[in-house]
């Protein structure tokens, strides 16, 4: 069924947002299945059910589209991995990271998953995407700092390391694990997750 027929009546602005979202979803599907270089504008537009004219309303060219696509992907991955703004548990964050590393599929919102190699291709290809990734990692550190602070307040996490340092440790270890997986280094992800938690959990009191 043509995707355009699925857009319900509404404001012009809402229709434009929906069209853009459908084009991004089509581009993600094409890139996930065939790689970053393969999808043509015709393939993306055909999959979305729109003409090239509709495409150019939202994007200047294919490169502009790919930057927008991976900006959307990376933001979705961050939200899915770090969790909601009121996430309470570092352990829950670790579980999501461990699942992504073990499967090689990074979660997005609404149940979507993105192959690790597609994200790596995009980061290698585009300076703009790399810069956006840095911005998003900084956001992730800020959000994980809040999670770590709640863990310290509940006495689940050690307090001799600042919450911001804990957040940076988590990001560094997670991205390091991703790099090892990219290099096909064998990993026991479950054990790695356990050892990562051991590093930041509250230590037992010596006088207990």
Three-class HEC string of 136-167 = HHHHHHHHHHHHHHHHHHCCCECCCCCHHHHH
Please give the mean pLDDT across all residues of the chain: 83
Taking a C-beta distance cutoff of 8 angstroms, is the pair 58, 20 a contact? yes
Q: Which two tokens stand for residue 208?
A: 């207990």
pLDDT of residue 208: 41
Q: Which residues does 5 contact at the CB level (< 8 Å), separation at least 6?
A: 49
Q: Which residue has the tokens 């560094």?
A: 172
pLDDT 10s digits, 18-51: 999 999 999 998 888 887 776 789 999 999 999 9
Pairing verdict, β 113-115 and 105-107: antiparallel
Radius of gyration of the chain (CA): 20
Considering only residues 58 and 121, tell me which one the structure prediction assigns the higher pLDDT. 58
Taking a C-beta distance cutoff of 8 angstroms, is the pair 44, 65 a contact? yes
pLDDT of residue 171: 84
């Amino acid at each position: 069924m043509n995707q355009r027929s699925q857009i319900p009546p509404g404001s012009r602005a809402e229709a434009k947002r929906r069209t853009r979202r459908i084009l991004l979803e089509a581009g993600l599907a094409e890139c996930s299945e065939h790689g970053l270089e393969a999808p043509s504008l015709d393939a993306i537009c055909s999959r979305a059910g729109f003409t090239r004219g509709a495409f150019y309303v939202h994007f200047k060219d294919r490169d502009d589209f790919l930057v927008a696509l991976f900006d959307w992907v990376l933001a979705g991955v961050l939200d899915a991995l770090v969790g909601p703004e009121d996430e309470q548990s570092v352990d829950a964050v670790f579980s999501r990271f461990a699942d992504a590393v073990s499967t090689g599929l990074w979660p997005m919102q609404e149940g979507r998953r993105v192959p690790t190699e597609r994200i790596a291709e995009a980061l290698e290809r585009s300076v703009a995407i790399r810069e956006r990734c840095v911005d998003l990692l900084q956001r992730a550190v800020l959000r994980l700092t809040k999670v770590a602070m709640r863990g310290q307040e509940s006495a689940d996490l050690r307090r001799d390391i600042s919450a911001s340092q804990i957040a940076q440790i988590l990001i560094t270890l997670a991205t390091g694990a991703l790099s090892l997986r990219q290099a096909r280094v064998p990993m026991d992800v479950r054990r790695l997750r356990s050892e990562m938690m051991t590093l930041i959990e509250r230590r037992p009191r010596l006088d207990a």
